[in-house]
Amino acid sequence: MYLLIEHNRTTKETHWTEFSDYAAAQLACLQKEQSYFHAHRPEMEVVVFEANSIEDLKRTHSRYFVAEGQKDNAKDALVAIGLIGLAIYLLNKK
């Protein structure tokens, strides 16, 4: 099976479409890429993968499939790191 992946790098949302034919998947990929290009959507990544199942693809390419709760945790972690860095900077400035 071939999977057309549409991944938003900003929101981390991913949509996929299954294809049994590689040529059809590649054509759909090209059409999506052109559509996002003309719509000025550089945050969108479009790619075709071959996999036995979507579960296999989630294991091998997990960055495309960040769970909803993990998105929030990642943002919270970055904020915490930023605050720690600010605190260290301010303590060293004294």
pLDDT along the chain (94 residues), means of 10: 93 92 95 94 93 90 73 62 74 74
Question: What local confidence, expressed as pLDDT, does residue 5 receive?
Answer: 94
Question: What local confidence, expressed as pLDDT, does residue 75 receive?
Answer: 63
Domain count, the chain: 1
Tell me how far apart the alpha carbons of residues 31 and 15 are, in angstroms, rounded to a whole number. Answer: 15
Question: What local confidence, expressed as pLDDT, does residue 77 receive?
Answer: 64
30 is in which domain, residue-wise?
Answer: 2-66
Residue 22 lies in a domain: yes
Question: What local confidence, expressed as pLDDT, does residue 76 receive?
Answer: 67
Residue 80 lies in a domain: no
Q: pTM (2 decimals)?
A: 0.67
Question: What local confidence, expressed as pLDDT, does residue 1 receive?
Answer: 94
Please say whether the beta carbons of 55 and 48 come within 8 A: no
